[in-house]
């Protein structure tokens, strides 16, 4: 019971943290093999046809997993320069078909972010993003469905930036009898997740407050509500590099607080002012998206997601 409650609470927090820390409380598949990384897909080679660049030294050496045809990263970046909708943020270009793959060198999981669809126009738009978390750099569809899945419905505005997600779901299939699906719906909110790019200069600060209801019937009939508060501050606009290319950069910090109430099997669990001591340090590249998401926590340890490839159509 205690383990399930901890997993439930941490999974829910992971939704609001864009799945940065989800797997640190979950079991793997029992494999002892080394995780693999590739730098030879969508963004691995430039237009000159040079040899694919290796990942940074903090990454582990790639092993032989199947890889698809590389896509020109210069072409991909240039394509990202023309905004298609309000969700096509300069620092997080959510376009239909866009994808990012992240890896935590201290973990055994890959994080696959896929933009399934975008609707709307340059003023107001929504985007559906699916996140697949598993042990595979190149998962099959079956492997995607067997792992952890998260779906976000993002809301975007030209005047406000990437505002938030109005609904999110998480499906955990690799926990045996404890497998479950959790749904979260935002009831009200104030602030934004990523403001317009022209505001993101050193010293700029902003906040995001979300009031949400959630349910996970398979997990002891769990229902509840939460108020989450994020506090952001821009720390720099230093240029960043990825696969040998230099991009305009953005660095910011994020701190997290929340109040939560949960009903499990009809029994109320009031969890006010939960302080898990989370702080994230984020690095983004204009025209690319998130490069690094480092989370520091005295309660759950540190994690560090790093981009290993991306595709912006």
Residue 223 binned pLDDT confidence (cut-offs 50, 70, 90): confident
**pLDDT tens sequence across 81-111:** 468 899 999 999 999 999 999 998 777 789 9
The string of DSSP codes covering 86-135 is: TTEETTEE--TT-EEEEE-TTSS-EEEEEEEEEEE-SSEEEEEEEEEEES
Buried b / exposed e over 38-57, threshold 16 CB at 10 Å, is bbbbbbbbbeeeeebbebee
pTM of the model: 0.73
In this prediction, residue 169 carries a pLDDT of 72
**pLDDT tens sequence across 3-60:** 344 444 444 444 444 434 343 333 333 333 333 333 333 443 333 333 333 333 333 3
**pLDDT tens sequence across 239-287:** 999 999 999 999 999 987 777 788 877 787 655 445 555 678 999 999 9
Among 35, 54, 36, 59, residue whose Cα is nearest residue 44: 54
Q: Which residues contact 228 (CB under 8 A, 6 or more apart)?
A: 16, 208, 209, 210, 212, 256, 257, 258
In this prediction, residue 173 carries a pLDDT of 65
């Amino acid at each position: 019971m205690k383990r399930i409650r901890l997993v439930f609470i941490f999974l829910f927090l992971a939704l609001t943290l864009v799945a940065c820390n989800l797997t640190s409380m979950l079991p793997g598949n029992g494999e002892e093999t080394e995780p693999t990384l590739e730098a030879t897909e969508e963004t691995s080679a430039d237009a000159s046809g040079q040899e694919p660049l290796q990942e940074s030294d903090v990454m582990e050496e790639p092993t032989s997993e199947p890889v698809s045809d590389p896509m020109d990263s210069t072409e991909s970046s240039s394509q990202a320069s023309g905004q298609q909708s309000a969700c096509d943020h300069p620092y997080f270009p959510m376009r239909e078909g866009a994808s990012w793959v992240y890896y935590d060198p201290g973990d055994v999981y890959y994080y696959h972010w896929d933009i399934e669809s975008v609707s709307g126009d340059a003023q107001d738009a929504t985007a559906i993003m699916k996140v697949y978390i598993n042990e595979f750099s190149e998962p099959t569809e079956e492997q995607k469905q067997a792992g952890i899945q998260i779906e976000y419905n993002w809301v975007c505005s030209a005047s406000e930036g990437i505002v938030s997600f109005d609904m999110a779901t998480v499906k955990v299939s690799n926990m045996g009898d404890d497998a479950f699906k959790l749904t979260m719906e935002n009831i009200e909110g104030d602030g934004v997740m990523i403001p317009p790019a022209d505001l993101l200069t050193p010293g700029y600060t902003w906040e995001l407050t979300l009031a949400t209801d959630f349910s996970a019937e398979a997990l002891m009939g769990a229902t509840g509500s939460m108020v989450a508060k994020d506090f952001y501050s821009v720390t720099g606009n230093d240029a960043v590099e990825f696969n040998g290319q230099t991009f305009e950069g953005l660095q910011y910090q994020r701190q997290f607080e929340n109040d939560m109430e949960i009903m499990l099997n009809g029994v109320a669990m009031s969890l006010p002012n939960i302080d898990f001591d989370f702080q994230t340090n984020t690095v983004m590249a204009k025209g690319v998206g998130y490069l690094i998401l480092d989370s520091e926590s005295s309660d759950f340890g540190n994690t560090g997601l790093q981009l290993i490839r991306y595709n912006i159509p």
